[in-house]
Amino acid sequence: MNWHQLTTEEQLEQIKTDSKLKPQLIFKHSTRCNISSMALNRLNRETNLPDIEYHLLDLIAYRSLSQKIAEDLQVQHESPQVLLIRNGECVYDESHSGISVSEIAEQVAQLN
């Protein structure tokens, strides 16, 4: 995956804006969690989906940004967690062992 590091609220706002043109995926990763590392490894073994941008948040280093994402997108905070953003809203979220590229691809296909 071609990850963009998510570290600021300004980037979050840009992701919401960019999601009006192209779906955006945020992966909230806990560097202290083995399940999160396994989920990230599963994602990294897959090919990038076309027409989607990928953002990686280290939620240990940027805990307040993680909370802001949960508040702004009206999702329950979980870790690990993927959030698919379209038109400024979270249209799909999944966590733990439910995170899979095939499921994300299905969700993106439904957006078109």
User: 29 pLDDT band (50/70/90 cuts)?
Assistant: very high
- Strand, coil or helix: 1: coil
State the burial class of residue 84 (Cβ atoms within 10 Å of its Cβ: 0-12, 13-18, 19+): buried
* pLDDT tens-place string over residues 40-93: 998 998 877 778 999 999 999 999 999 999 999 999 999 999 999 999 999 999
Q: What number of other Cβ atoms are within 10 A of residue 102's Cβ?
A: 8
Question: Beta strand 24-29 with 53-58: parallel, antiparallel or unpaired?
Answer: parallel
- Chain segment 75-89, per-residue pLDDT in tens: 999 999 999 999 999
pLDDT at residue 111 tops 90: no
Residue 88 DSSP class: T
Domains of the chain: residue spans and CATH: 3-111 (3.40.30.10)
